[in-house]
Structures are given as structure tokens and as C-alpha cells.
Structure 1
């Protein structure tokens, strides 16, 4: 009997695999690749394939290519094909319309025939307490009811805390046997050419990942800097603030969306670190979609860490897809600083826990040309950061050494803004100040600066050579 486990992260999928096999066969950690385990259960030879998890509300268009390819490849790993695919859903976790749509889109990767082999496996059965599973399903609402109807109303409940309760496993295996009978003894099958293509693609990507790893600049001489200054850049919810906390080894940054750039300092591995967190932009939003206030604050980050940053850390999460729109958005936002900025950019791939033990290069190679072009634009400088393990200092020291190596490559120089950009920004600031003064005069005399300042940061912008005097200072900076 061959079984494939599908579902979102933290739904109890991997624990369910251990419950079925009656032992701790699977490690309870995230992985970007399928894992297969075998065992004998109730006199049956059982093969269980655990697939990577995904975010439960991510549609297929938002899910990274590596995940989608690997999940479909599970059919080949369970060769000649699974008898059942167990769709794991956690009890006591709202199952909304977007969750149903996400499930349907991802199962569509297998083809329409997959629904004849699906059983919904509810985990965390202890959360039912005094109600029946039938009552829970009714109470949960239409999205879950419609999904179960599409699965032929086949479902089962597991309590992974009661692994010694063999009856729950035996009942599941009996339901799988019933599916086999209903499907006239046939297991689930996919087009052999599709599966063979995925196997070949995986081998090619593994080779390309190894080659890319060899391109990574390796520090020949470490500049033991006592002072390193860096700026965090990226879209909203990219993991910028978490990355800042991981680097500094402390919970210093506010994870809420903030309108201003924020400076924090700490001593790490004998180095005095200055880290600037900046406002994020929309994931695939163009520069024109970003508020003037946010653009001002992003540029102001340079003056906050005067005389200038040693590195810009461009944070990109690996738990979602990376498109041409993402690439265009990033390039537009970074070129606010001028073309020379790319010599100081290091890509920081956040949410690296999603990769498990899989090398980050596999994400780069599998995700497509957009991310590969960006990596090459940055001189193949990148680093994977697992923000879930802030106590993992080796990953931070490795990043600091990469920054120090880049300082050497840049001949010991920090980043400095182009004089022409500064001149244009100062002109915009002056024009905006004149316009602002005119508005204040029309509002009447006696308006204090405190009453009039609604920007959230007021005169705090009078810092360093880039003295941006209002949140509207780039109104006429048309090329930005």
C-alpha cells in the first residue's frame, strides 16, 4: 500500500506519517523535497511519501516552482503510483474559501483523476473535544463541505498524540482498501512522460545548483572590521525586520508596518553592527505605486548610517514564487540610489527554514530566469537566513564575512550617493518646503510645527547630507 501525504505547513502532515508507520520515521522539520519511508503495519507493507508543506492560503500562482514540481514528483517516488493521496487538514484551524481554492489549484497539478484517490485526513482530533467530526464539518461551513463533496465525502480523523491507538490507523487502511476496490484495483497514475520529465529536470537542477555554488565569491582574506553598516531593503512581509533581529541577535525591530527607516545597533562577533530597516514596498508594485514618504525614507537610510552603508541587504522570501514583476519592482526601487548600488547589494533569502536541508541554489535554479538575472546583477552575492533560529550565530557570522569580503572588493569603500541625485533631491525638498510654507500661511498664523506635522516623523528628517524636509519631497522627482 502506497500513500502520499499532502497539505499545508504545521497541519500535522509529517506527524500523521509517523502515526501511520507507528514510529518516528519522519523528522518533524520542514523540507523542500519529498521524503519516503517504509514499514510493515497490520501485516501490510506500507510506503509513505511526505511532501513539502505550503502556506494554506497560497494559491498555485504564489507557490514557488520548486514546491509544485516536487509535490508532483511524489507520484514517481511512490512508483508505480499511490493507492491514496491523504489531504491533511488541521482541525480547529479555520478553513476559508481561499483555503479551498488553494487546495483545488494545487491538486489540479495532478490532473482531474486525482480526486478519485483523495481522502481528507483531519489531524489534531483531540481538538474536537465533545463534538463529533460530522458536527465539526457542518459548523465549519461551505468551503469544507464543498471540498469533501468533491472528494466523495471520504475523510478520517487522526489524533497524533495517541500513536499507540492502532485502531485509528487500521480504520484508515481499511478506507484506503475501499478506494482501491472502488477504483477497480488501480492505483493513481500520471502521464509517464510528465513524471520522467520532472525526474530529468530535478537532476539537471541539482547539477546547476552545484555549479552556481562554485560561483559564489569566497573570501580569500577577511577584513576584520570593527564597524559594519548595512541597510535592509525589500517588499512588505519579506522578512526584513526578522532578518534584522537575526543579524543583531536581539528582538529590536517592530514587525508592524512602519513609515520610517529605523536604526538599531549591537555588537556581534566582535563587530559593532549598525542595521537600518526601511519601509517595504508592495511585493510586485512599481516605484510609482510606492508613496513619496516611503521613497524618501528608503533613501534617507543612507544618511542614517553616515558616512554610508557597507552593504544593502535585499531580502527575498523563498516561501513564495519570484516573477518578472518582482524583478522589475526590485530594480526600480534600488535604482533610486543610482546604478552603483548593485556593487553593494547582497541578496538575503529569508524564510530559509522552508528549504530544510536543501541548498538555496536549488531555489535559485528552479524558480526561473527572473531570480537568476537578479542574482547575477548582484554579482552572485547571496545568503540564506533562517529567521526561526535566531540563536544560530554561524549563519550570521557567515553573512558578516560575505559583507567584509565585499568591502574588500569595493576597495574598502562604503556606498555614497551620487551627487546629482542628492542635488535633485535637495531641489525637490526646497520646492516642497516652499509649497508647504504656502499652505501653512493660508491656514492661518499661529500653527505650531507640532500641530502641523502629520507625517509621523516631523523634523527627524534633518539628518546627514540627505536632509529630506518632508514626506512629499519627491513630488517633482519625476524619474523616481
Structure 2
């Protein structure tokens, strides 16, 4: 298990002495076998969780895979290796995140856990104990939970065999402490999780078939026609990946990767289409009623930037994060600022497809259930997933365009028309901008008048260690001499 960043793969390859694990994120466990230090080894790589996300924010797919990881090395693992990087600070928030994810396996799992520190020679000759004592509280708690069992793997070291040998010796010592027993997952929990995964896979397959059939019916009506122009609006939470999605769609670094407080639009020619992409301001996790009026006006103004109206509103969601009831409530409140028929022009756009690996997006959807299902139903089961790490994959962008064109066909060739509510918001925003300029000018005028009265300043620096530096106004006399008021 690994906390926060890719490290499972390199540690697994180091232990097995060869490249068995790919250095990429994956939503499912990966099992590999080999030999090390004269022993047959089975290693299971568990999907990594996000460093700053509590267990309540992790998607169901990840939670299921953590639980099922123990069944891939039946009858059970001899050791749980919890990977912690030495070049990153370990804080109280990290402790809480690790506790929640590890204890999905049960409270007794700590008796079978070793903290595996990884380092690309970051520590140098510094002993790991000095690092531990320097970090303090949170890391101390983690080691105490593991009965102070820990080991360091320096992946850049030439002494790989010795490091792996020492690690396996510590594993055997821990097994002896546990009465020569491996870790055994609660069978009822394991059985229930396996059943939920099986049903989710069945529903995912059915969803794929239903969506494919629905798209085929619409595509038969469209034929080879395609829109020569596409106007798109990206909406979502500040960490959803709107800017990355916009860059992927346009095939270039058009949007800066930052939290947007104002709407921004970029244009380009993609797949023989003139494409306008508008990034709306990021919304927070608070209710719309608690957000500033300026933000609400800016949010509605984003649709006006692709006048006369967008062909599609793309709701951007991270695929590696839980979609909660609160997320759904905030999203719906934002769209309620627009008109009711906005859902007819909306597609859910999942980002961070690289985390899914070979897992279909439908498996994630069916594992989440509840709030995500209701959102997709409102959007008539229109969704797409983007790998924003890949900028030159024309196929994934082409498939998105095709889905947008199919939606436009369903809407009788109409885009989302700007209603009076949006037009009024645009007018109010312009009036607010005019008032802001007037206020700025009004505030500057007295400052300029005061500065004109003050005149210039001269600073005297006296080379005496006890002399004060004096700053006094200069008065220009008629005899062209300068009188300066000084004080000691």
C-alpha cells in the first residue's frame, strides 16, 4: 500500500529484482510473483489513494479494491507493506488519511503491517531514525501502531540484495510474533465486497450496452453530418481538472492550470471544427447562497462568452474521487442559476482516466451508485472520460465531439439558448464593472491631490551609528536655495 504518490510499482520491482509492475496509476490491484533472497514471493500492488483525501472522499471502486487485495494472495498476506516517502513531510492529515484507508482491512491489520520508507538516496548517510525523530508526532503514531516495525529501501543503492534480504527477515520476525500466522481478512466483509463487485460489473456491462444502443439509434439519424462549429462550457469544482480538460480538447496548453475566478475562453481548430471552449469560474463546496454575488454573475456570464449559446455544458468530475450527496447538491444549485432545460444540453465529463487503467468507466459509475446515478439520469446518461495526461490523442476528443453532436441532434439541432435570466445577469455584471471603475477613480483622486501637496522627499543618511535617519519635506525658496528641516 502506498500513501499519496506513485511508489508501489518501484518498490515492487525493487523487491523482485526486475520490472514486473508498470509505473502508472491503476484502479485495480495488480498481482505479480517471483523470487527474492531464495524465497518465492507474491506481491499485490494496491491502488494508491490521494494524499489529501480522507476515506470518506475516496471512491467506492478504490475502497473495494483495497479490501479485495487480501484475496489475491490466498489464504492471506504475511505482511502489509505501507509505503511512506522520506522526501515528503508526514503531517497529521497524512496520519488520518492512512488510518482510514488501512483500517478498511480491519483493526487487527496493524499487527501485520510494516512501514516501508522509500528513498532515491534522499537520506544519504543520514540514519532513518534521525528522520523519524525529526518528523515527530504523526509519524511516531504510525510507527507505534505498527509496533515500531519499519524498513528503508534506497532504490538507487547498489546493495539491493542486502536491503531485500533484511526486509524479508523483518517480515519473518513479524510472522513469528503473530504465532506464525498470516493476516486473515474477515470472511463476511470479504464475501460482501466480492458480491458487490460482481453485481457492479454486471450493471456496468448492461450500462455499456444500453448507452451503445442509444448512441447507434441517434447516429443512424445523423449519418456523416457534423457540426462545423462547437461552443463548449466547462463547469466544475476547483480540483476537477477543467483547465486540463480544455487543453486536451484544444490539443495545446491554452488554459493556465490555476483556480479561475473569472470566466475565460479560448478558440482553435480541432478535427475540422472551429471550437470555442469557455472555462467557468471554479465553484467551492459551499452552497450557492453563501457565495458572493460577483461569483454568481461571473458564472452566468461564462455562457454569454459563447454567444448565441453553447452546444454543450460539460460538468467536469474527477474519476478518482467520491461523488457525494453534498457534491451533487452544490452542483445542482449552480445549474439552478440557469434554466431548467439546461440538463438537456449537459454531458458529464470525467477526468483522470489514467487512474482507471484498464477498468471501464462504467465500473466506477456502478460502484458509486446513488448521487452519481441521479446526476447521470438528469443528463440522460450522457458521459465521457478523458485522459488529460495525453495531449495528442485525437480519438478521445473525436469521440467527445461525436457525443456532443448526438446530443445536439436529440435537441432538434438546437444549442442552449441564453434566456432572460442570463442576459439580465450579464447586464448587472457590466453595471457592477462601471461602478467599480467609478469607485476606483473616486478613491484615487484625493490621494493624488494629497501627494501633490506633500511634494518631494529627501532622505538624509548620516554616517554616525547613533544618528537617526530623517525624512522631511523640502521647501523651494525664491533664491533657488533649498531649505531642509532637520532634527537630531
- Range into which the TM-score falls when normalised by the shorter chain: 0.7 to 0.9
**Correspondence for 1:362:** 363
1:185-264 matched pairs, under 5 angstroms: 185-216=180-211, 217-218=214-215, 219-220=219-220, 221-264=223-266
Report deviation, 1:433.
9.1
Q: Among residues 59, 73, 79, which one is paired with 1:84 in the alignment?
A: 79
TM-superposition CA deviations, 1:416-464 (whole Å, max 9, x none): 0233x25754786699799x59x969969979xxxxxxxxxxxxxxxxx
Distance in 2 separating the partners of 1:126 and 1:19: 14
The Cα shift of 1:19 comes to: 1.5
Moved more, 248-257 or 47-56: 248-257
Q: Does 1:105 align with 2:107?
A: no
Looking at structure 1, the residues matched to 425 and 311 of structure 2 have their Cα atoms a distance apart, in angstroms, of 22
Cα offsets for 1:124-171 (capped at 9, x unmatched): 251111311111212222211221122111111112344872111111
Which residue of structure 2 aligns with residue 280 of structure 1? 282
Q: Output one character per residue of 1:263-318: Cα deviation in whole Å (capped at 9) or x when no partner.
A: 10011111111000010111x32211222212111211222111111000110111
Asked if structure 1 preserves the Cα contact closer than 8 Å seen for 2:300 and 2:426, the reply is: no
Query: 4+ runs of 1 displaced by more than 6 Å?
Result: 429-434, 441-447
Residue 89 of structure 2: aligned partner: 94
Matched with 2:374 is: 373
Supply the distance in 2 between the matched residues of 1:62 and 1:33 (Cα, whole angstroms): 18
SS of equivalent to 1:336: coil
Query: C-alpha distance in 2, partners of 1:268/1:358?
Result: 28
Give the match's secondary structure for 1:371.
helix
Aligned residues between the structures: 440
- Aligned-partner Cα distance in 1 for 2:38–2:414: 69
> Does structure 2 conserve the Cα–Cα contact (< 8 Å) formed by 1:65 and 1:366?
yes
**SS in structure 1 opposite 2:131?**
helix
Matched residue of 1:158: which SS? strand
Q: Does 1:351 align with 2:346?
A: no
CA change 1:175–1:33 in 2 (3 A) is same
- TM superposition score normalised by structure 2: 0.85
Picking from 55, 68, 86, the partner of 2:50 is 55
Matched residue of 2:231: which SS? strand
Q: CA separation in 2, counterparts of 1:427 and 1:357?
A: 48
Compare CA radii of gyration and give the structure with the larger one.
2
CA distance in 2, matches of 1:389, 1:423: 37
Superimposed CA distance per residue, residues 311-334 of structure 1 (whole angstroms, 9 cap, x where no aligned partner): 001101112111111111111101
Aligned to 2:392: 391
Q: Which residue of 2 aligns with 1:473?
A: none
Contact kept in structure 2, 1:124 and 1:159, CA below 8 Å: yes
Tell me which residue corresponds to 1:160. Answer: 155
Contact map agreement 1:11 1:90 (CA 8 A) in 2:
no
- Partner deviation per Cα, 1:234-266 (whole Å, 9 max, x = no partner): 111111111111111111112222321111001
- Structure 2: which 5+ residue stretches go unaligned? 447-488
Which stretches in structure 1 are left out of the alignment for 5+ residues? 1-5, 448-480
**How far did residue 384 of structure 1 move?**
0.6
> Per the alignment, in what secondary structure is the counterpart of residue 52 of structure 1?
coil
1:319 aligned residue: 320
Shifted more, 203-212 versus 253-262: the winner is 253-262
Cα distance in structure 2, aligned partners of 1:64 and 1:429:
38
Query: What is the distance in 2 between the residues matched to 1:363 and 1:182?
Result: 39
Aligned residue in 1 for 2:21: 26
Rounded to whole Å, the distance in 1 between the matches of 2:15 and 2:444 is 77
Equivalent in the alignment of 1:460: none
**Partners of 2:433 and 2:152 in 1: CA distance:** 65
In the alignment, the residues of structure 2 paired with residue 90 and residue 245 of structure 1 have an alpha-carbon distance, to the nearest angstrom, of 31
CA distance in 2, matches of 1:422, 1:250: 30
Task: Give yes or no for contact 1:7–1:54 (8 Å, CA) kept in 2.
Answer: yes
The CA distance in 2 between the partners of 1:382 and 1:86, in whole Å, is: 37
Partner Cα separation in structure 2 for residue 222 and residue 326 of structure 1: 38
* Structure-1 residue corresponding to 2:5: 10
Q: Secondary structure at the match of 2:240?
A: coil
**Given the superposition, is the C-alpha separation of residues 297 and 118 from structure 1 closer, same or farther in structure 2, using an over 3 Å criterion?**
same
